[in-house]
Amino acid sequence: MRIVTWNVNSLKARLPRVTEWIEEVRPEVLCLQETKMADEAFPALHFEELGYTGAHFGQGRWNGVAIISRVGLDDVVANFADGIEPDTEARIITATCAGVRVSSVYVPNGRAVDDPHYEYKLDWLDRLVAHLERDTSPSADVVVTGDFNIAPTDADVFDPAMLDGGTHVTPAERDRLAALADWGLTDLFRGHHTADGLYSWWDYRSGSFHKGHGMRIDLSLGTASVAKRCRWSVVDRNARKGESPSDHAPVIVELAD
């Protein structure tokens, strides 16, 4: 069972590429972020024609997350299930696919450490733990996958300037990843790769992809039972090439049945 995360940067603009990729790879579960569309615009029938069931949580112009699956899609929860006031932005959707509780997350970018959006990012990550606590259990098969907008370690970043006061690499952000680890979630990709220079996002500007200037910010986190089943993980860099790509590549994990 392969579970994929892909920030598509507009599902409308990316639908031809996404369709082509699905037909080639046929993943069991595909989690999307930054669909940038309202629920009414989500092309559910299109995915059904490809053999997938889809669930989407969107708001229109910004954000938007989805899960599409060809191994079942049950108990869908849009937004946080932490029982307090709903988050105003569409950044998390959760469903059970073939016994795995899967969340597709689009963590706030943060913009700059002195921007209010950075505090929103940290609060959002605190709420993610509260959500998991309410929605499921560390002893269950759980995968939280998506664009975390955090590089877990310095080995996951090209730009040294980013390490000096930039977002995505601050101790406070990494503390939130540590809190998720304390809850029971480990970085499945790092269970199979130790090298640096392995990224999932490259800025559109300045020929960053061509120069190898990127960050690994698209993560798949799994509970212990999932980590034990994880056979491999890979970034499909080919999907970042060619005409009209997203600035993110898909990241795949395969779990043994």
Partner DNA sequence: ATGGTTGTTGCACAA
Q: Which residues bind DNA (CB under 7 A)?
A: 9-10, 12-13, 34, 36-38, 41, 60-62, 108-109, 111, 117, 204-206, 244
CB of 206 to DNA, least distance (A): 5
CB of 161 to DNA, least distance (A): 8
- Of 106, 187, 218, 247, which residue is the catalytic one? 106
* Distance from C-alpha of 150 to C-alpha of 225, rounded to nearest angstrom: 24
Token representation of residue 164: 């000096």
- Of 82, 135, 141, 147, which residue is the catalytic one? 147
Backbone angles phi, psi at 108, to 5 degrees: -50, 145
Burial 182-202 (b: 16+ CB within 10 A, else e): ebbbbbbbbbeeeeeebbbbb
- Give the H/E segment covering residue 209: helix 208-211
Whether 204 is catalytic = no
Q: What does DSSP say about strands 92-97 and 142-147: parallel, antiparallel, or unpaired?
A: unpaired
* Distance from C-alpha of 200 to C-alpha of 232, rounded to nearest angstrom: 16
> Measured from the CB atom, is 110 or 222 closer to DNA?
110
* Distance from C-alpha of 32 to C-alpha of 250, rounded to nearest angstrom: 9
> Measured from the CB atom, is 106 or 136 closer to DNA?
106
Whether 120 is catalytic = no
> Measured from the CB atom, is 86 or 207 closer to DNA?
207
Classify the C-alpha dihedral 16-22-25-29 as positive or negative: positive
> Measured from the CB atom, is 62 or 197 closer to DNA?
62
Token representation of residue 109: 């970018």
Decide if 239 contacts 23 (C-beta within 8 A).
no
* Distance from C-alpha of 250 to C-alpha of 240, rounded to nearest angstrom: 8
Question: Strand, coil or helix: what is 233?
Answer: strand
> Measured from the CB atom, is 83 or 116 closer to DNA?
116
Amino acid at 228: K
CB of 196 to DNA, least distance (A): 22
Residues annotated catalytic, as ranges: 106, 147
